[in-house]
Chains A and B, each alone.
Chain A
C-alpha cells in the first residue's frame, strides 16, 4: 500500500520560492498568475496494514514542521 503526503507552507507564511516562480512565469509572458505556493509531495511505500494514524504520526514527527507547514495524507 502507498500513502502520499502533501506538505505546504501554512497560509500566511511567506513562500519566497513560490514568489520567485511567480516572477519567472510573469517574465515568460504568462499573465494573470496572481500567486504561487510551492510545496512537496512525499510518496511512502508502506507495509500492508499501516494506518493513516501512523502516517499522521510520521508527519508530525518528521515529514512536516508544523510550526510553518501544514500537511495532508492520501492513503491508497
Chain B
C-alpha cells in the first residue's frame, strides 16, 4: 500500500496522518503542494488537517487551487482513494470532489473536544471495520466545521447512503448532524473529526484504528 500525504503551508496534522498510515502498514510519501504530480503507484491520498494557506479567503480555498490538487483530482477521477480530515475535508469540498461546504461553527467558537460519532454506514472501505449505528469517540478541533448542503444534495447523500458519520450531539450546527460524507463511488471520505488522533492507548482512545485497518484491508484485496 502506498499513501501520499499532501503538505500545504499551514498543514499541521500531516505527520499525524502519515504515522496513522504507516502504523496500518502503508508506505508513505509526503507530497509538497507545489508538486504537480503524485508519486507513481499511490493508492490513497491523505489531505490533512491544519490551516492551509492560513485559512485565507476561505478554509481550503487556496489549497484547492494549488498544483497538487490538480493531481489529486486526476487520482480521484481514475478511481483512487482519498481521505480528507478537518481542513482536508474543507479542501475536498472546495475542489468539488465532495459536495457541500463547511461554514463557521454555529456557536462561533473554535471547538476542541472528543465527541461521539454514529457510524451512519458500514458500506465503504473507510467504515467497514465498524458496525452501522455503532457509536465511536473521535476528537474534533475546528472553527469551521458546520456542514452545509442544499436540500437536493442532502436528499441525494441520504438516498445513496453516502453519509459516513453523524454527530450524536451536534457540536457545530452541521445540517442533519453530518460529520463526514462519501463520494459517489465511496472511495473519497471527508470528515471533520480526527480519527488519526485516536489510534494509540496514549491518545486515550483507539476508536480510529478500525478505520485505517479496514482501509488497508480493502485496498490490499482491491
**A residues apposed to B, CB below 8 Å:** 9, 13-14, 16-17, 20, 61-63, 65, 67-68
**B residues apposed to A, CB below 8 Å:** 57-58, 61-62, 65, 93-94, 99-101, 103-108, 146, 148-150, 173
Residues of chain B lying within 8 A (CB to CB) of residue A68:
101, 103, 148
B-side binding surface: helix, strand, loop or mixed? Answer: loop
Partner among B93, B99, B103, B150 whose Cβ is within 8 Å of the Cβ of A14: B103
List the 4 closest pairs (A to B, CB-CB), nearest first. Answer: A67-B101, A68-B101, A16-B104, A16-B108
Distance between B181 CB and nearest chain A CB, rounded to angstroms:
13
Determine the residue in chain B with the shortest Cβ distance to A19: B108
Partner among B65, B106, B146, B148 whose Cβ is within 8 Å of the Cβ of A67: B148
Determine the residue in chain B with the shortest Cβ distance to A66: B101
Residues of chain A lying within 8 A (CB to CB) of residue B104:
16-17
A63 in contact with B173 (CB, 8 Å):
no
Partner among A13, A20, A63, A65 whose Cβ is within 8 Å of the Cβ of B108: A20
A16 in contact with B106 (CB, 8 Å):
yes
